[in-house]
Every structure is written in structure tokens, then in C-alpha cells.
């Protein structure tokens, strides 16, 4: 069966129209703050809208039969790439980021909700463009919700089938009805939480602009800030606690939040991934707080807040910073490095491996020890009291192995450009996990500006790989995908 390119382009057209629309939404901001970038946003917006419209109109009625599974991999990967490609226009036209590689890195870092930045001085950038920067993450978050709820499970990727059965109003059917039903409900929650956080941040003392921007990038677990010092700029404990709570929510399966808002609180604690996500975070916060309290002169409350903030920021793959954890203690550097391989819940906007996969891997490891003793016994892994098929466990293990392979290979490539051990493994772990800050020279207080052009392209590719759950992108590199079936 041939790939349905017309249907694919039709969707890309729709996405570009959406993209252009969002660019135009930044226009009033630019005009209000009189930052001189309004023309860049206007041109980018109209151009992107037009290209999208033309593509859509040319392909709309000719796309017969809709998308098949095999088209799915291509449309998702192309979707993210197209959005990022056109998303560079506001940066390039306004000359706020004059080089294409930098602009593409920053935009892809946005749409993949990574939050790694090449900007040395964020505060010197026009407000309209900063708004666009934050919006790329928020749009990326919207995309991830559709992707994980509606598309990835159909593509059969890395255990994403596991939590779909739990999604509200979902029966394994075609692509369309699911997107229009489940995704819309979850988008509403996503939007609602963003508005709610923005209001709380405003109450906490941020101005309108900062509160909206931080709300947008918190809920996307993106981590772009409007300040050079990231959230460390806002020293009010209230603001930091608000962001912690919303980062944690953004890293929670939106389906559970949906149930929570409908009063079905039992379902939340009944969800095994959530229990692990919560307990695991709580356990590490106690440990990290204790260490920070001992090795620094900070008060207990400030040690607790810093520890909690950094932990939740890394685990949810947000990447905001209020303190430089690499200066705390070697133990914490190692812990934060390992945490980069965890990720938050599936069905949230968080990147990385995801807690549910680790739960399966952990349980399966213990079970495999039992299976050694009794190879004949059927000993499936159980999640939420149901047996997980060995196919899914197999797939999740393969996912994890490929994740490590990509990490190892990526680290070798980055170090081949001359960066030291810590910088290389830190940059790769943080980009692949869609986090933001890493270690070494790309630590919490640094940025990615100094990375060479090839390095930025390699890291961009890793951000895309990580965000699209590896398989979606890697499948396109197998000759098998492109041969006729």
C-alpha cells in the first residue's frame, strides 16, 4: 500500500494554518509593548497561514481514504518538523535570532517542550517574540496530548497502549473520532489549568506578561522563561510553590486530572503510575532536602523549596531552575543525572522515558528472576491489577534499550566535537529527555549558545527523537518502511 501523501499534506496544511494563527496572536503583544517586531510577526503569520491554506486546499478533496497507520509515523514527524521550520520565521525576520541553526534549535526546543535555549540574554528580546517563544512550547504541549492519547497507541509505540484503556470515552476505533472527543476534553483541561496558573502567578506578584508566559511553558513542561535567571528571578516562595504544583500537574496523566475534576478522586490514587510518580518524587524530595540542608547554609524551608523545585522540574522534564543543583553535592549531581532518564507520567506533556515504563521494567526485572527458577510458570507483569501482555513488556524493554543506544551514540557524537565528558553526556541526556538544562558547560545556569553548528543539529535531532518516543522517527530511517507492502 502506498503512503497517502495527499492526506499527509492535508494535515500539514491544517497544522501550518494553526501555526500562523498563533503567530498572529503575538502581534497585539508586540504592538502593545512597542518592541518593533510587529512586522516580523505579521509577515511570518500571514505567510505561514497562506502556505498552510494553499497546501490544505490543494490536497483536501483529493485525499482518499484518510490516514493509515503507516502514514501516521510520517505525518507526526513531518508535523513537528514543519511547525518548527515555519516557527523560525518570527525569530529570523525580526533578527532577534539572526542565524537559521540557532532559530531552528530554539523553535524545535519549543515545539518539543524541551526548553534548551541558545539565547544569552533573554530579557533583551522583544516581548512579542518572547510570547511566540512561549507559545511554541504551549502548542507543542497540545500536540503531545493528541499524540499520546490518540495517535501513539494506534501506532503501537512503547507501551502507550497501556493507559489508553483508561482514557475517558475512548474505544479503540479510528483516528478521527478519538481526536475530536478525548483530545478536546483534555485540551480544555490544559487550557483551563494554564489560565488558572496565570491568575495565581499574577496574584503572586508577576506582571501579566510574565505570568501568562510562565503559565504557558509550565503546563507544556517546557521551561522557557522570560528571565535570564529562569524562575530564580522570582524569589517569592508563593510563586515558586505555584509553579511546583502546576509542573507536577503538567507531569500527571491528563486523563487522571479529568477524573479528578469530575470528582472521581479514587481513580487517581487507584492509578499505579500516579502512585509511583507521587511516592517516588516524595521519597527523593526528602533525601535531597536532607542533603541540601546539611551541605548549605540555607534555612530548612528554602532547602525544601529548592530541592522540591529542582526535583519536580527535572522529573517532569520542565527544566526551570531556581538553584544550581550541580553545586550542591556530588551525590545530587549523580541523582539528578539519573533522574533525567525517568520522566513523568504517560499522557502528560512531560518528555523522557515515563514513569509507567519504569514501573513495568522494574516489575518485569523482579519477575524475570522468578522466571529463572520456574521457566514453565506464566508470570506476567501486572499494572493496575491487570496482566500486561508480554508483547507490550517486550516493546517497552526494546524502547529502553534503544533509548540507551541513542544516548550512548549521541554522547560519542557530541564529544567528537570536542566537548568534555560531563558536557557531552549532560547535553545529550537533557535534550533526549526534553528537559532543558544539563551538566558541565550546559548546566542549570548556562545555555546552548556556544555549541557548534553540527552540535546544535545533533541535539535538535535528539530532542525530536525523544519527544516523538523514538520509534515514530526511527521507523522512517528503516528501508523497510519505504518499500511497498
How many residues does the structure list for the chain?
A: 485
Please identify which residue in 420, 450, 452, 454 interacts with its own copies, judged by CB under 8 A.
420
> Distance from CA of residue 463 to its chain's centroid?
9
Neighbours of 148 (CB within 10 A): 28
Between 229 and 329, name the residue whose CB sits nearer to its own copies.
329
Find the shortest distance in angstroms from Cβ 76 to its own copies: 13
Part in contact with its own copies (CB under 8 A); list of ranges 110-118, 131-139, 235-243, 372-380 = 372-380
Query: Using CA atoms, how far apart are residues 124 and 118, in angstroms rounded to an integer?
Result: 13
Find the shortest distance in angstroms from Cβ 177 to its own copies: 22
DSSP assignment of 120-146 equals S-GGGS-HHHHHHHHHHHHHHHHHHHH
Eight-state DSSP code of residue 383: E
Please identify which residue in 235, 412, 450, 452 interacts with its own copies, judged by CB under 8 A.
412
Between 53 and 474, name the residue whose CB sits nearer to its own copies.
474
The contact pattern for its own copies, residues 53-92, with x = CB under 8 A and - = no contact, is: ----------------xx----------------------
Find the shortest distance in angstroms from Cβ 157 to its own copies: 7
Per rule CB under 8 A, is residue 369 in the interface with its own copies? yes
Part in contact with its own copies (CB under 8 A); list of ranges 11-19, 172-180, 208-216, 361-369 = 361-369
Between 245 and 379, name the residue whose CB sits nearer to its own copies.
379
Please identify which residue in 57, 203, 366, 387 interacts with its own copies, judged by CB under 8 A.
366
Please identify which residue in 100, 421, 450, 454 interacts with its own copies, judged by CB under 8 A.
421
Per rule CB under 8 A, is residue 415 in the interface with its own copies? yes
Eight-state DSSP code of residue 103: H
Nearest to 259 by CA among 361, 381, 167, 397: 167
The contact pattern for its own copies, residues 320-339, with x = CB under 8 A and - = no contact, is: ---------xxx-xxx-xx-
The set of cell numbers assigned to 387 is 496482566
Find the shortest distance in angstroms from Cβ 377 to its own copies: 10
SS3 category, 386: strand
Q: H helices within 165-271, ranges in order?
A: 175-178, 184-203, 208-219, 237-250, 254-261, 265-270
Please identify which residue in 46, 57, 362, 453 interacts with its own copies, judged by CB under 8 A.
362
The set of cell numbers assigned to 28 is 497585539
- What does each C-alpha distance from 462 to 128, 194, 220, 382, 407 come to in angstroms? 28, 27, 18, 32, 9
The set of cell numbers assigned to 161 is 497502549
Find the shortest distance in angstroms from Cβ 74 to its own copies: 12
The set of cell numbers assigned to 281 is 518524587
The contact pattern for its own copies, residues 112-131, with x = CB under 8 A and - = no contact, is: --------------------
Find the shortest distance in angstroms from Cβ 414 to its own copies: 8
DSSP assignment of 59-82 equals HGGG--S---HHHHHHHHHHHHHH
DSSP assignment of 405-449 equals HHHHHHHHHHHHTT--HHHHHHHHHHHHTT----SGGGSTT--ST
Between 75 and 256, name the residue whose CB sits nearer to its own copies.
75
Contact between 277 and 252 (Cβ < 8 Å): yes
Looking at residues 143 to 182 of the shown chain, list those that interact with its own copies (rule: CB under 8 A).
155-157
Between 123 and 391, name the residue whose CB sits nearer to its own copies.
391
- What does each C-alpha distance from 86 to 65, 152, 485 come to in angstroms? 28, 24, 33
Between 25 and 402, name the residue whose CB sits nearer to its own copies.
402
Looking at residues 271 to 330 of the shown chain, list those that interact with its own copies (rule: CB under 8 A).
329-330
Nearest to 86 by CA among 477, 78, 30: 78
Residues of this chain that bind its own copies (CB under 8 A): 69-70, 155-157, 329-331, 333-335, 337-338, 341, 361-362, 364-366, 368-375, 390-391, 393-395, 397-398, 400-402, 404-405, 408, 411-412, 415-416, 418-422, 424-425, 439, 471, 474-475, 478, 480-481, 485
Amino acid at each position: 500500500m502506498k503512503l497517502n501523501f495527499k492526506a499527509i499534506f492535508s494535515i500539514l496544511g491544517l497544522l501550518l494554518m494553526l501555526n500562523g494563527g498563533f503567530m498572529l496572536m503575538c502581534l497585539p503583544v508586540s504592538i502593545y509593548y512597542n518592541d518593533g517586531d510587529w512586522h516580523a510577526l505579521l509577515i511570518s503569520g500571514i505567510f505561514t497561514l497562506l502556505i498552510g491554506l494553499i497546501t490544505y486546499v490543494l490536497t483536501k478533496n483529493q485525499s482518499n481514504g484518510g490516514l493509515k497507520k503507516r502514514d501516521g509515523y510520517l505525518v507526526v514527524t513531518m508535523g513537528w518538523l514543519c511547525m518548527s521550520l515555519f516557527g523560525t520565521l518570527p525569530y529570523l525576520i525580526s533578527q532577534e535570532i539572526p542565524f537559521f541553526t540557532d532559530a531552528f534549535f530554539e523553535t524545535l526546543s519549543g515545539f518539543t517542550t524541551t526548553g534548551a535555549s541558545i539565547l544569552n540574554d533573554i530579557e533583551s528580546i522583544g516581548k512579542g517574540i518572547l510570547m511566540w517563544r512561549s507559545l511554541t512550547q504551549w502548542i507543542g504541549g497540545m500536540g503531545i496530548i493528541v499524540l499520546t492519547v490518540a495517535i501513539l497507541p494506534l501506532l503501537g509505540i512503547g507501551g502507550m497502549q497501556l493507559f489508553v484503556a483508561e482514557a475517558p470515552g475512548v474505544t479503540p476505533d479510528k483516528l478521527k473520532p478519538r481526536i475530536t472527543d478525548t483530545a478536546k476534553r483534555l485540551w480544555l483541561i490544559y487550557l483551563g489549568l494554564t489560565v488558572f496558573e496565570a491568575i495565581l502567578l499574577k496574584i503572586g506578584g508577576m506582571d501579566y506578561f510574565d505570568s501568562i508566559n510562565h503559565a504557558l511553558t509550565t503546563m507544556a513542561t517546557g521551561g522557557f522563561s522570560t528571565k535570564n535567571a529562569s524562575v530564580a528571578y522570582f524569589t517569592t516562595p508563593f510563586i515558586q510553590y505555584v509553579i511546583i504544583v502546576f509542573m507536577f500537574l503538567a507531569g500527571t496523566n491528563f486523563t487522571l486530572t479529568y477524573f479528578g475534576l469530575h470528582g472521581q478522586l479514587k481513580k487517581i490514587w487507584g492509578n499505579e503510575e500516579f502512585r509511583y510518580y507521587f511516592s517516588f518524587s516524595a521519597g527523593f524530595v526528602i533525601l535531597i532536602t536532607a542533603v541540601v540542608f546539611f551541605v548549605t547554609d540555607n534555612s530548612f524551608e528554602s532547602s525544601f523549596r529548592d530541592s522540591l523545585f529542582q526535583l519536580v522540574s527535572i522529573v517532569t522534564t520542565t527544566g526551570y531552575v531556581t538553584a544550581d543543583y550541580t553545586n550542591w553535592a556530588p551525590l545530587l549531581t549523580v541523582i539528578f543525572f539519573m533522574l533525567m532518564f525517568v520522566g513523568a507520567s504517560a499522557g502528560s506533556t512531560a518528555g523522557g522515558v515515563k514513569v509507567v515504563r519504569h514501573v513495568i521494567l522494574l516489575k518485569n526485572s523482579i519477575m524475570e528472576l522468578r522466571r529463572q527458577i520456574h521457566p514453565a510458570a506464566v508470570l506476567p507483569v501486572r499494572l493496575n491489577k491487570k496482566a500486561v501482555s508480554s508483547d507490550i513488556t517486550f516493546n517497552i524493554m526494546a524502547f529502553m534499550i534503544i533509548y540507551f543506544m541513542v544516548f550512548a551514540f549521541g554522547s560519542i557524537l557530541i564529544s567528537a566535537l570536542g566537548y568534555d565528558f560531563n558536557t557531552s553526556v549532560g547535553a545529550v541526556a537533557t535534550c533526549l529527555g526534553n528537559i532543558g538544562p544539563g551538566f558541565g558547560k550546559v548546566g542549570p545556569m548556562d545555555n546552548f549558545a556556544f555549541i557548534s553548528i553540527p552540535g546544535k543539529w545533533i541535539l535538535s535531532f535528539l530532542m525530536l527523537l525523544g519527544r516523538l518516543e523514538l520509534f515514530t522517527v526511527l521507523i522512517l530511517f528503516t528501508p523497510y518502511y519505504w518499500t511497498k507492502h
